[in-house]
Amino acid sequence: MKYSAEINKRKTFAIISHPDAGKTTLTEKFLLFGGAIQTAGAVKSNKIKKHATSDFMEIERQRGISVATSVMTFEYEGHLINLLDTPGHKDFAEDTFRTLTAVDSVVLVIDSVNGVEPQTRRLMEVIAMRKTPVIVFINKMDRDGKNRFDLLEEIENELKIQLHPMTVPINSGKDFKGVYDLHKKSLVLFTAGTKANDEAVVEINDLNDTILETKIGKNDANILREDVELIDGVYGELNNTDYLSGNIAPVFFGSAVNNFGVKEMLDTFIRIAPTPRPRSTTTRDVLPEEEKFSGFIFKIHANLDPKHRDRIAFLRVCSGRFARHTYYNHVRLQKDIRFTNPYSFLARQKDVIEEAYPGDVVGLFDTGSFKIGDTLTEGENFYFTGIPSFSPEIFKEVVNKDPMKTKQLEKGLNQLTDEGVAQLFTQFGGNKKIIGCVGELQFEVIQYRLLQEYGASVQMNSLPFYKACWLTCKDAKKLEDFTKYKLANIAEDKDGNVVYLAQSEWFLNTEISNNPDIIFHFTSEINKV
């Protein structure tokens, strides 16, 4: 195993949550521990206007939300960590779902005040399907929220996952005093308005020691003893195999904004989280230890640096060693390409790298060669599987408000829809451009970026379509007749595939019944061999 030392150093994970649960704040605390940044950027006040390191798009700064996955690489305790901070907003779930295909484990942030929220449920369905290992961080313990045991029960019932507490909270809200670390047998004390440090950690191997009363008071000491006895009795020691198989999720309590409880979780993550794992392809499973390089594109982002109008494809390395200036096989295009300036990332900061190993996420300068799901290999022909795509649910016509900017609009629409957050259709019998999205907010982002990054001013007009279906038929004549008859509902996607835009569920079901020879596909097939 030529590259085993490099592979075993790497941990690649995503942070996911419902919006406002504290995901981006937690990301910054990880970066602080890793020395990747020197000051937290989430401080928002009238005097100081700093912003989260991972929120690099201008619209994200204005709205205070993440709308694109950010990739950050940093070192901690001898490990190289690739951290992917995902959008929390439901309208950008598709970006998050695809990001989950590029990681080996997940940290799920839950707001202790609001508990399990709709977006969290949807994300966990995808994670459970892939059997991805999960660590849960229950955030905002310094705010008045739900009872700790009620919260654990709610998470287990709602998300259909078995939990294993690793720390026990002492009260919550204004009475929050800290946590007891069940693994290290230590008490970590919380003081409001201060940051956790080594002096706040008290080693207590025996909970009957009277030092416990001295630190947190008699009543809270007795409650903690009962809690620990109950948790030990119910859960026992964490079975690492159960965690790695996605059957059990370790749980930590803390306050990300106060940097409290974060180190305990990060230390445990380094100890138990998986190193790069095997990946399924259309022909076989690819092992990270294999000598030959392979990887896939899971995200494309145009204008990461607005000054240079660059377009970056994000590659997850799955096996072997990726090297700068080396030719690799682009499977879909069946041609060899090489990369002179591959990057590693800290949000917008880019560093040119000479090599990368399984688990690493590499930014590749893209001139338009890549689509999401594309595979690079050292010659073998296969595609990595399980990269999702979705049929849009909302459709709008793009109307150009400035005919002098037609070329800029065309370029902007093509590049932005290549990123995968929206799909572009051209209606038959004309040149009407239609954008299809999963969520309403995506249109706002696209409209904003077209203007800011391409100088193209557009109006978005709603269209009365219910769903997009890709059409295939063994009888070319039948498909041609159908498209002629239904011209007002027929469009082409960017690859020239025929798409039927259904007005309603009833219309769709009627056409499916009336045309048994035509297959109506509800996802665009990303992987084509």
Would you say residue 158 has pLDDT above 70? Answer: yes
**How high is the pLDDT of residue 521?**
87
Check whether residue 440 and residue 460 sit in a common domain.
yes
**How high is the pLDDT of residue 54?**
45
Would you say residue 4 has pLDDT above 50? Answer: yes
**How high is the pLDDT of residue 259?**
86
**How high is the pLDDT of residue 333?**
92
Burial 196-210 (b: 16+ CB within 10 A, else e): beeeebbebeebeee
Q: Rounded to the nearest 10 degrees, how much is the dihedral formed by the CA atoms of 297, 299, 300, 305?
A: -120
Residue 174's identity, in one-letter code, is K
User: Tokens at residue 64, please?
Assistant: 């205070």
Lowest-confidence range among 145-149, 201-205, 465-469?
201-205
Q: Is residue 386 part of a domain?
A: no
CA 514 – CA 45 distance, rounded (Å): 61
- CATH number of the domain residue 503 falls in: 3.30.70.3280
**Do strands 10-17 and 79-85 pair parallel, antiparallel, or not at all (unpaired)?**
parallel
User: Tokens at residue 512, please?
Assistant: 């499916």
77 or 40: which carries more pLDDT confidence? 77
Q: Is residue 192 part of a domain?
A: no
Check whether residue 155 and residue 261 sit in a common domain.
yes
CA distances from 447 to 211, 371, 396 (A): 60, 22, 11
**How high is the pLDDT of residue 191?**
76
pLDDT bin (cut points 50, 70, 90) of residue 481 is very high
Mean of per-residue pLDDT scores for the chain: 83
| pLDDT, mean of residues 303-318 | 72
Tell me the DSSP string of 117-136. -HHHHHHHHHHHHHT--EEE
| pLDDT, mean of residues 110-138 | 87
Contact present, 67 and 60 (Cβ < 8 Å): yes
| pLDDT, mean of residues 197-211 | 74
Q: Rounded to the nearest 10 degrees, how much is the dihedral formed by the CA atoms of 390, 394, 399, 405?
A: -40
Contact present, 301 and 419 (Cβ < 8 Å): yes
Q: Is residue 205 part of a domain?
A: no
Would you say residue 47 has pLDDT above 50? Answer: no
Lowest-confidence range among 26-30, 128-132, 212-216, 389-393?
389-393
Contact present, 114 and 22 (Cβ < 8 Å): no
Q: Is residue 230 part of a domain?
A: no
Check whether residue 283 and residue 169 sit in a common domain.
no
Picking from 151, 25, 147, 41, the residue whose alpha carbon sits closest to that of residue 85 is 25
Which of helix, strand or coil describes residue 423? strand
pLDDT bin (cut points 50, 70, 90) of residue 397 is very high
Q: Is residue 59 part of a domain?
A: yes
**How high is the pLDDT of residue 528?**
44
**How high is the pLDDT of residue 208?**
84
Contact present, 141 and 112 (Cβ < 8 Å): yes
Lowest-confidence range among 51-55, 208-212, 418-422?
51-55
Of 228, 255, 272, the residue at which a domain comes to its end is 272
Lowest-confidence range among 22-36, 190-204, 254-268, 470-484?
190-204
Would you say residue 174 has pLDDT above 80? Answer: yes
Of 377, 407, 433, the residue at which a domain comes to its end is 377
Check whether residue 29 and residue 163 sit in a common domain.
yes
Q: Is residue 321 part of a domain?
A: yes
User: Tokens at residue 178, please?
Assistant: 């800290």
Instruction: Calculate ∠ Cα 108-110-115, nearest 5°.
Output: 140
> Domain range for residue 151?
4-176+237-272
- Using a pLDDT cut of 70, give the percent of the chain over it: 85
Check whether residue 86 and residue 107 sit in a common domain.
yes
Picking from 453, 405, 470, 459, the residue whose alpha carbon sits closest to that of residue 435 is 459
- CATH number of the domain residue 44 falls in: 3.40.50.300
Check whether residue 154 and residue 47 sit in a common domain.
yes
| pLDDT, mean of residues 436-460 | 85
Predicted TM-score (pTM) above 0.75 = yes
Encode pLDDT of 73-117 as tens digits.
888 989 999 988 776 445 455 667 778 889 999 999 999 999 988
User: Sign of the CA dihedral 89, 92, 97, 100?
Assistant: negative
| pLDDT, mean of residues 196-205 | 66
User: Tokens at residue 162, please?
Assistant: 């078995």
Check whether residue 243 and residue 298 sit in a common domain.
no
Check whether residue 321 and residue 265 sit in a common domain.
no
Check whether residue 161 and residue 37 sit in a common domain.
yes
Of 211, 245, 272, the residue at which a domain comes to its end is 272
Would you say residue 308 has pLDDT above 70? Answer: no
Domain count, the chain: 3
Would you say residue 382 has pLDDT above 70? Answer: yes
Lowest-confidence range among 199-213, 216-230, 468-482, 507-521?
199-213
Check whether residue 285 and residue 267 sit in a common domain.
no
**How high is the pLDDT of residue 146?**
87
CA 423 – CA 524 distance, rounded (Å): 10
415 or 484: which carries more pLDDT confidence? 484
Would you say residue 346 has pLDDT above 50? Answer: yes
Check whether residue 108 and residue 252 sit in a common domain.
yes
Q: Is residue 208 part of a domain?
A: no
Check whether residue 168 and residue 145 sit in a common domain.
yes
| pLDDT, mean of residues 4-33 | 87
470 or 393: which carries more pLDDT confidence? 470
Which residues, in sequence order, are CB contacts of 121 under 8 Å at separation 6+? 158, 159
Q: Is residue 201 part of a domain?
A: no
**How high is the pLDDT of residue 49?**
33
User: Sign of the CA dihedral 461, 422, 371, 367?
Assistant: positive
Which residues, in sequence order, are CB contacts of 515 under 8 Å at separation 6+? 478, 482
Lowest-confidence range among 58-67, 229-238, 492-501?
58-67
Which of helix, strand or coil describes residue 230? helix
